[in-house]
Amino acid sequence: MSDIKKVVLAYSGGLDTSVIVRWLQETYQCEVVTFTADIGQGEEVEPARAKAQAMGVKEIYIEDLREEFVRDFVYPMFRANTVYEGEYLLGTSIARPLIAKRLIEIANETGADAISHGATGKGNDQVRFELGAYALKPGVKVIAPWREWDLNSREKLMAYCEDHNIPVDFAKNKKKSPYSMDANLLHISYEGNRLEDPWTEAEEDMWRWSVSPETAPDTPTYITLGYEKGDIVSIDGKAISPAEVLTYLNKVAGDNGIGRLDLVENRYVGMKSRGCYETPGGTVMLRAHRAIESLTLDRESAHLKDSLMPKYAELVYNGYWWSPERLALQKLIDTTQEHVNGEVRVKLYKGNVIVAGRRSESDSLFDASVATFEDDAGAYNQKDAEGFIRLNALRLRIAAKKGRKMQ
């Protein structure tokens, strides 16, 4: 007899997690609580309620977390200009700590003994979910069916459904993408199938949020993003919520062929993985944020942030959102954003995000009287540069006098 009486499952309503509901009920003889989060995946989440009810689930949580997702997770990450391995904008990674947080909160609310998820034993998500869970509830029991059962193919999952009276009409009749996909307001990812050959180009009809740059409009689209403390708070002068920002940017950037990415990344579990990503809004956000920082951030603050960003990105990718080191880095990053206020005008054109202008009436560090190529009326004494250069060259001159080779 299992000592697990109640489990909270991260439940999508799809084939895998529907099988997990019944598997948990029969393997652990326990009650299952389902949690379905709307984080902007673009699919209706309410049907998950009927599917869960059909399998005898009595406690069903379906929540709209889109604003919390962008406000408390995406925005803080973009304040750091976060990019993993020079390319990946961490669309899947950043959603996992929010889901882990709600799994633990619901477990506490319902008195559950354990949580469960449908991540496989090969990927990063199992690590992200579980690191987050243990950080927030150290003694929690985590059940990861993919590491326990032998249902390692779609055919076996379907056979299990037939043998255990699991309603799967939705799985049989719905046209299924050949790719393993994950979607939220920040991105869509595609893995598997033909993408497992890194030499094979992705099919054009795979992409869902963006047109190809070749077929994008011949006329550019201009938008103006308003910033307060490093976060976008308005578009074209209109105040807008975090989730609305990303929804709008995904649409307008996708329509201009922006946001496609094809990469081979290093998973935390050790293997290399080829994946394709669509991040239209995030691509605009990254470019525009760097533009407003270029105007308002002190040089050394900006360079310090750039030097720390790869570590911050690694922490997010590997699942350490709730770690003390990520929290410490976040405080430093947020401190630098105090004066990152103003506007950035970007031009979106055939896959490109082009900065067309930036301004900050209160916080710009750009001083035209000093930087001008015209007469600066004594604002900058060019003779000062001579001593500056000689002092900085001192160590080089001493080494050269000692005969040390410099080439």
Residues forming the active site: 16, 96, 125, 180
Strands lying side by side in the sheet with 141-143: 59-64, 31-38, 6-10, 114-116, 141-143
Quick one: DSSP state of residue 88?
Answer: B
Residue among 282, 281, 264, 284 nearest 273 (CA): 264
**CA-based torsion, 333, 334, 335, 341: positive or negative:** positive
Q: What are the Cα distances from residue 171, in Å, to 14, 121, 159?
A: 7, 23, 12
Residue 368's alpha-carbon distances to 136, 293, 330, 363, 372, in angstroms, are 50, 17, 32, 14, 5
Beta strands in 158-254 (DSSP E): 180-183, 188-191, 221-228, 231-235, 238-239
Given a contact cutoff of 8 angstroms between Cβ atoms, the answer to whether 28 and 143 are in contact is yes
Is residue 245 within 8 A of residue 235, CB to CB? The reply is yes
- 253, 285 Cβ separation under 8 angstroms: no
Residue type, 354: I
Please tell me the distance from the alpha carbon of residue 344 to that of residue 227, in angstroms, as a whole number: 8
Give CA torsion, residues 112, 46, 50, 95, to 10 deg.
-40
The C-alpha torsion from 227 through 232 and 235 to 236, rounded to 10°, is: 10
Rounded CA separation 340/299 (Å): 13
Which parts of 270-380 fold into alpha helices (H)?
A: 280-296, 299-318, 324-336, 368-371
Strands 238-239 and 260-266: unpaired
The amino acid that residue 106 corresponds to is I
